[in-house]
Amino acid sequence: MSDNQAFLEHINEGYKTKGDFLTMGAAMYNGETVTDAHVKIPLKTLNRHGLIAGATGTGKTKTLQVLAENLSEQGIPVLLMDIKGDLSGIAAASSGHPKIDERHEKIGIPFEAKDFPVEILSLSDQDGVRLRATVSEFGPVLLSRILDVTTTQAGIISVIFKYCDDNKLPLLDLKDLKKVLQFSTQEGKKELEKDYGRISTASTGSILRKIVELEQQGADLFFGEKSFEVQDLCRIDENGRGIINIIRLTDIQDKPKLFSTFMLSLLAEIYGTFPEQGDSGRPELVIFLDEAHLIFKEASNALMGQIESIVKLIRSKGVGLYFVTQNPTDVPDGVLSQLGLKVQHALRAFTAKDRKAIKLTAENYPISEYYDTKEILTSLGIGEALVSALDEKGRPTPLAATMLRAPMSRMDILSDGELKTLLKKSKLIPKYNEEIDRESAYELLNEKIEKAEAKEAKAAAKKEREKLNKSSSSSRSRNRRTSATEKAVIKVLTSATFIRGALGVLNKLLK
């Protein structure tokens, strides 16, 4: 048996699957594509998460596009983070190219140009379905981790949430939270201390500064109503294809705190609302996190722990998470160890640090008798990658240097006109893009303070009137006493006895 024939049997046996699957491409050996040695990913294991890594320009985004298309075609909804702004073309069919035909001839898969159902979402002022969540939905624990506060400050946030729950004060946006914090150490200090204990002004000041920092990254646009319902990410179109939801994040690369806040809230909401399903035959939703290092950038230890916990648990909800980044070391070890599918594009060895990173990356892949992993990591071409997945029994598949299939959709962005047409067709924009600012903690507390101030003013006015009345009463009393004295004097002076006495004295003087 020739080496090529042995390799073909090795790959086909290792990637044999009885259930539904995605075809990534064909395996390569000795620099040549082995036609029909197809690398297949069972749908059953796609909730085991994955990694797409590689240097800039090696084809990571196109791999992400291929996976999203094939998932959609299998009726599985997808959520993509479009940080570079180059994924909207999935909504349009590929224009084709002779090189694409040549690639697919080598792979042994016919090429077919297709467009896919796309929904454009936005976390900021960009066009698309607005994504929002309320402060109450975050809850005190998650919010404390996002803000990276101390244990004492986290306790204060919990007290604030409890006070708002007890007094029916909705916490919807950040101005609500700031107002309650200010109220707790000013007008409402005595009220809160009576039922919940003393709240330090220094601690609330520190929390307020953390909130302002979050606002400066655009979080004031994210917190509010109407809250996005994560079930709307799981829609299927009229042809049975999964909707590909693309979140436009081109203006968020310099706002890692906001990105982490959004991603953590989204994953927590999905975990909290999706039903438990264990290892079913296919995932309910697959999420691709492009530029994944932004999620972990500047994340606190508490926040990192929360992310790792959700990554470990969310697969039981039928959700797969796929991290897309330049180097596997961008992803924390606790997360990396949970990943089943690894698609590693070429890495570049320009420095000693790069060579060390390549050595570490090679150790993450199964040992192969057909490849020198460290060497092949630096020699892969554009659209080629090392692939290692899980088979239907959860075992790692053989390492395969793979020529990846080309995207069926456009490998470019939509024009402004095409984007506007797509947005007009959206069924979610009318549902979520109306801005709502209903009465919440901010307005209710302002009203409470105004009523308290009015009551105090009324009490002060009453006290002043009583003081004036008392003063007037004293004056009238004095006047009455003076009047009585005057009357007595007049009475004495006008009495007959007095007149006679006075006349007697006068007569004696005259004599």
* Cα distance between residue 72 and residue 208, in whole Å: 43
Residue 124 or 199, more confident: 199
Give me the pLDDT at residue 486, please.
59
pLDDT tens, 118-145?
999 988 778 899 988 888 888 898 888 8
How many separate helices (H) and strands (E) can be counted in the chain? 19, 12
- At 117, give phi and psi (nearest 5°): -70, 125
* Cα distance between residue 349 and residue 90, in whole Å: 33
Share of the chain above pLDDT 70, in %: 89
> pTM value?
0.83
* Cα distance between residue 313 and residue 270, in whole Å: 11
pLDDT tens, 228-280?
999 999 999 999 999 999 998 877 766 777 777 788 888 888 988 999 887 77
Give me the pLDDT at residue 481, please.
59
Q: Where are the domains of the chain?
A: 3-131+229-427, 135-222, 446-510
Residue type, 211: I
pLDDT tens, 329-372?
888 888 888 899 999 999 887 887 888 888 888 887 888 889 98
Q: What DSSP line would sit under 272-328, residue for residue?
A: HHSPP--S-SS-SEEEEEETTHHHHTT--HHHHHHHHHHHHHGGGGTEEEEEEES-G
Hey, what are 435's tokens? 């801005």
Give me the pLDDT at residue 456, please.
65
Hey, what are 78's tokens? 């997808």
144-158 burial code (b ≥16 CB/10 A, e <16): bbbbbbeeebbbbbb
432-465 burial code (b ≥16 CB/10 A, e <16): beeeeeeebbbbbbeebeeeeeeeeeeeeeeeee
415 touches 90 (CB < 8 A): no
Give me the pLDDT at residue 504, please.
54
* Cα distance between residue 275 and residue 272, in whole Å: 8
- Average pLDDT value for the chain: 85
Hey, what are 405's tokens? 């299939």
CB proximity list for 373: less than 8 A, separation 6 or greater? 362, 365, 367, 386, 399
- Strands 341-344 and 384-388 come out as antiparallel
Q: How confident is residue 4, by pLDDT bands cut at 50, 70 and 90?
A: confident
Is the backbone of residue 108 left (phi > 0), alpha (psi -120 to 50) or beta?
A: left
Give me the pLDDT at residue 338, please.
85
pLDDT tens, 470-502?
776 666 666 665 565 556 555 555 554 544 554
280 touches 247 (CB < 8 A): no
Mean pLDDT of 134-162: 89
* Cα distance between residue 72 and residue 451, in whole Å: 57
Give me the pLDDT at residue 41, please.
94
115 touches 91 (CB < 8 A): yes
* Cα distance between residue 453 and residue 435, in whole Å: 31
* Cα distance between residue 439 and residue 161, in whole Å: 17
* Cα distance between residue 170 and residue 54, in whole Å: 46
The residue with tokens 């990554």 is 311
Mean pLDDT of 50-67: 92
Residue 8 has pLDDT above 70, yes or no: yes
Residue type, 149: V
Residue 506 has pLDDT above 50, yes or no: no
Nearest to 111 by CA among 53, 155, 66: 66
Give me the pLDDT at residue 467, please.
77
283 touches 318 (CB < 8 A): yes
pLDDT tens, 398-449?
999 999 999 999 999 999 999 999 999 999 999 998 877 777 777 887 777 7
pLDDT tens, 83-107?
888 899 999 999 999 999 999 999 9
The residue with tokens 């029909």 is 36
* Cα distance between residue 31 and residue 406, in whole Å: 19
CATH hierarchy code of domain 3-131+229-427: 3.40.50.300
* Cα distance between residue 321 and residue 80, in whole Å: 10
